[in-house]
Amino acid sequence: MFVTEPSQAYNTVHEELTKSLTNVLKTSNADFLVIHKLLHHAWFFFQLLVKSMAQHLLDTDRIKMQRHERFSGEYLSGIHELVHTMMPHILHKFKELRTEIRHANQSLAHFCKRCFSLVDRGFVFKLVNSYLEAFKPGDEMELQCLKFDFLEIICSHEHFIALNLPSLRGTYTRGHAKSTKDFEAEYNLSEEFCRDHFLVGALLSELRAALTEVQKVRQRAISVICNLLAKHAFDDRIQGKAQQARVVSLYLPLIAILLENINRLNATQEPTARKSSSNSTLVEEAPPASTSSTSHRNTIHLTDGGSSLRHSRDSNYLSIIAGQVPLHQSGGVTFANGSSTSLGSESSSVPSSSSIKDLDAFIKNGDVNNFTREGSFANKGHARSQSLPFASPARPVRYDKFEPPEIRDLLVCFLYIIKQMNEDVLIGWWQQCRDSDLLDFFHLLELCLHQFKYMGKKHILKGRNQGAQAKAMTLPARTTPPSFAQRCNSTYSEKAAMENGVDVLESDSFYQALLEANMATEVGLIALDVLGLYCGRFKDSLLFNDGDNPTMRRVFDIYLSFLEVGQSENLLKHLFAALRAFINKFPVALFQGSSFLCGKLCFELLRCCNSKLSTVRNEACALLYLLMRSNFEFTGRKALTRVHLQLIVSVSRLLGEVIGLNTARFQESLSIINNYATGDKAMQRSVFPNEVRDLTKKIRTVLMATTQMREHENDPEMLVDLQHSLANSYSAT
């Protein structure tokens, strides 16, 4: 191994090389061929710098010194100047020298990453900060991707967690115990957070800004954060629960970032419908009350022929086209599907021809003579905040939707954070957040259930077949002539290839189905844990106004979403256990407050009583019996009036909405409930068993009458008798 000879008379290799590289890269002295080769092979010179720096520290025993004393200030200034000199080449030559700039950018990132082990880390943070500040809002897509390539390499440092100084929850600092207020800065992407956790703060700030960019930039940013969290999850050094909790505490602001984009995560449309965002239609809305402060430059005019459209392409107009500002807030029109016409492409936010045509058609048909806009953004293109030190809290509201893969990746990050998070930290976040953020948090949790819903093996196989067919249709035609020598074996070969391909496809589909099933179960368990924690710690707030409040409804809707979406048998066992705990904990909300909660629960439980799975039917019957008994106990052992009434109403609704109601399974479930009432020794001396038998009898009457009414729908006399019998049953209720 080559080692430089120690000498006091000459400068070291890294000092001279730094000066030489800086002089060569200066624009005034730059030669195109030299710059071309230097950028392409920058990795060699940066590795040489690192090796010389390491040898210098070992030979002079400066490795034992404090980091800020190892190198002279003059040399550190030279490194900073080298990075500063290299940035213009990256920013201005990325189009003509794509490969060379990509290699140089990666080499610079690896050099900065290795400097963490040799130089004062505060100095390296300044280098990273200087690099990020060279980028401006609205940079082109290639530049944005280069920036995230740099951040990905920097964040791959083996001591990345230690470099970010993760918070110590519940410990003592300077003799004082940390309270919830001490951690308020940890929950949001504030200036203090970015100062204390520089690398994570920079990454989250760039992610927050990238979510307002075009799709490719968003995907690149999301992939960086996903891969980083996956690395933490599988790092053998931090597998302990307490260690993982400290790690995810670094990513708490990601929750606030997702809540900012909650309206873009709610993708309820089909993927095919979401992809057609460029064909947005315009809908007229009422103009604002005050439109006196209009300006001529912000007005759209039509010519006499009505065929041309003149507009000023200021930043506000482009922001509207990009989906950053709702048009109804700026003059009187809005996109019907809330999607953007410019984000579907990888270009800047210049309005497309289709959007101009749609706007022209709207003005012709809507009797609109002018279109005013209030407010403006400082930059053209996609509005975003400065990268560092932290993102500005004033953000434009976006109305275009994320793509399904982006939504899944972001929700996976959210689930990993709340799963590994310390309970005290999560409770502290709930305590300091606003009511609207709390509702959005639970809405985000509900989105996870729907987004990771298990669709079944057949659905996965069908999707793979459609994808293979679409790929085959886009492939170019074969130009290779067939081999006539092998024609005799062609039938056998084609058949074997087809069978082999089908087997591989089915095997992959089975594995994918297993992964998605496990993922759906894991998501459900995480959601149940979070709901249980909140219900246990915030019981008083949930019982406000006898449970008739938005938070209680949101929490209860998530519980019922498990039954609506459909889950595995193992997860349903945990769900029914959680619902039993909910009934025991919140009888006031179910039996004294609004009947809305009790009615929805009765309907979903009756629907489960018709399930094909016997385990689900048994669990539903047990929970329904517990609901009846809790109502009876809540009234002082007098009656179960509310559950009685809501069950009768739910049965009628069930018969009207559920197609294919199996009467035999439903009758069996009613018998199970009767057996519970008969065998409950604590209720033998009360009127409760009779109340249950009377209720199940009326439900049977409704079932039988409805079934017979369908059979005798062509017999008027019989139909009238059955309707009279059914009316008597309802009147008795």
Averaged over 634-660, what is the pLDDT? 85
What's the confidence (pLDDT) of residue 299? 35
Q: Is the pLDDT of residue 702 over 60?
A: yes
pLDDT band at 208 (very low <50, low <70, confident <90, very high): very high
Longest dimension (CA), the chain: 118
* Residue 229 one-letter amino acid: L
Averaged over 149-157, what is the pLDDT? 96
pLDDT digits (tens, 9 = 90+) for 216-228: 999 999 999 999 9
What's the confidence (pLDDT) of residue 488? 46
Q: Is 522:571 a contact under the CB 8 Å cutoff? A: no
What's the confidence (pLDDT) of residue 36? 87
pLDDT digits (tens, 9 = 90+) for 533-554: 999 999 999 999 999 999 999 9
Q: Which helix (H) or strand (E) holds 537?
A: helix 490-537
Q: Is the pLDDT of residue 731 over 80?
A: no
Least trusted range by pLDDT, from 233-237, 330-334, 503-507, 579-583: 330-334
Residues 6+ apart with CB under 8 A from 303: 310
Candidates 617, 627, 636; CA nearest to 695 is 627
Averaged over 522-529, what is the pLDDT? 96
Averaged over 470-482, what is the pLDDT? 51
Q: Is 663:707 a contact under the CB 8 Å cutoff? A: yes
Q: Return the C-alpha torsion angle 579, 584, 590, 591, nearest 10.
A: 150
Candidates 211, 266, 210, 563; CA nearest to 444 is 266
Q: Is 258:423 a contact under the CB 8 Å cutoff? A: no
Averaged over 272-281, what is the pLDDT? 34
What's the confidence (pLDDT) of residue 511? 84
- What is the rounded distance in angstroms from the CA atom of residue 489 to the CA atom of residue 499? 16
- What does the block give as tokens for 419? 């799963």
- Cα 456 to Cα 329, 332, 451, 465: the distances in Å are 43, 45, 14, 15
Residues 6+ apart with CB under 8 A from 332: 284, 285, 286, 287, 288, 368, 371
pLDDT digits (tens, 9 = 90+) for 370-429: 333 333 333 333 333 344 434 444 556 666 889 999 999 999 999 999 999 999 999 999
Q: Is 359:309 a contact under the CB 8 Å cutoff? A: yes
What's the confidence (pLDDT) of residue 395? 55
Output the DSSP codes for 6-61: P-SSS--HHHHHHHHHHHHH-GGG--HHHHHHHHHTHHHHHHHHHHHHHHHHHHTT
What's the confidence (pLDDT) of residue 562? 93
Candidates 507, 554, 504; CA nearest to 527 is 554
3-class secondary structure, 294: coil
Q: Is the pLDDT of residue 124 over 90?
A: yes
- What is the rounded distance in angstroms from the CA atom of residue 296 to the CA atom of residue 298? 5
pLDDT band at 593 (very low <50, low <70, confident <90, very high): confident
Q: Is the peptide bond before 253 cis (omega within 30 degrees of 0)?
A: no
What's the burial of 702, exposed, middle or buried (CB within 10 Å: 0-12/13-18/19+)? buried
Strands 176-177 and 172-173: antiparallel
What's the confidence (pLDDT) of residue 566? 80
- What is the rounded distance in angstroms from the CA atom of residue 331 to the CA atom of residue 350? 20
First-residue to last-residue Cα distance in the chain: 94
Question: Which long-range contacts does 185-192 make (Cβ < 8 Å, 24+ apart)?
Answer: 186/249, 186/252, 186/253, 187/252, 187/253, 187/255, 187/256, 187/428, 187/429, 187/432, 187/433, 188/253, 188/256, 189/253, 189/256, 189/257, 189/390, 189/391, 190/390, 191/389, 191/390
What's the burial of 400, exposed, middle or buried (CB within 10 Å: 0-12/13-18/19+)? buried
Least trusted range by pLDDT, from 275-284, 561-570, 600-609, 627-636: 275-284
Candidates 262, 257, 254, 266; CA nearest to 229 is 254
- What is the rounded distance in angstroms from the CA atom of residue 87 to the CA atom of residue 206? 18
Q: Is the pLDDT of residue 281 over 60?
A: no
Q: What is the CA radius of gyration of the chain?
A: 33
Q: Which helix (H) or strand (E) holds 310?
A: strand 309-310
Helices marked H in 538-639 — which ranges? 539-542, 550-565, 569-585, 587-591, 596-608, 614-634
HSE of 570 in the Cβ direction (CA atoms, 13 Å)? 8
pLDDT digits (tens, 9 = 90+) for 46-89: 999 999 999 988 988 888 888 888 988 899 999 999 999 999 99
pLDDT band at 158 (very low <50, low <70, confident <90, very high): very high
- What is the rounded distance in angstroms from the CA atom of residue 530 to the CA atom of residue 196? 28
Q: Say how many residues make up the chain.
A: 733
* Residue 111 one-letter amino acid: F
Least trusted range by pLDDT, from 3-7, 325-329, 500-504, 661-665: 325-329
Report the chain's mean pLDDT, rounded to a whole number.
78
Q: Is 210:221 a contact under the CB 8 Å cutoff? A: yes
Strands 333-335 and 309-310: unpaired
The residue ranking higher by pLDDT, 316 or 351, is 316
Candidates 615, 527, 526, 622; CA nearest to 570 is 615
* Residue 627 one-letter amino acid: L
- What is the rounded distance in angstroms from the CA atom of residue 193 to the CA atom of residue 255? 14
What angle do the packed helices 98-115 and 32-40 form, to 10 degrees?
Answer: 50
pLDDT band at 505 (very low <50, low <70, confident <90, very high): low
What's the confidence (pLDDT) of residue 274? 35
Helices marked H in 372-480 — which ranges? 404-420, 423-432, 435-451, 457-474
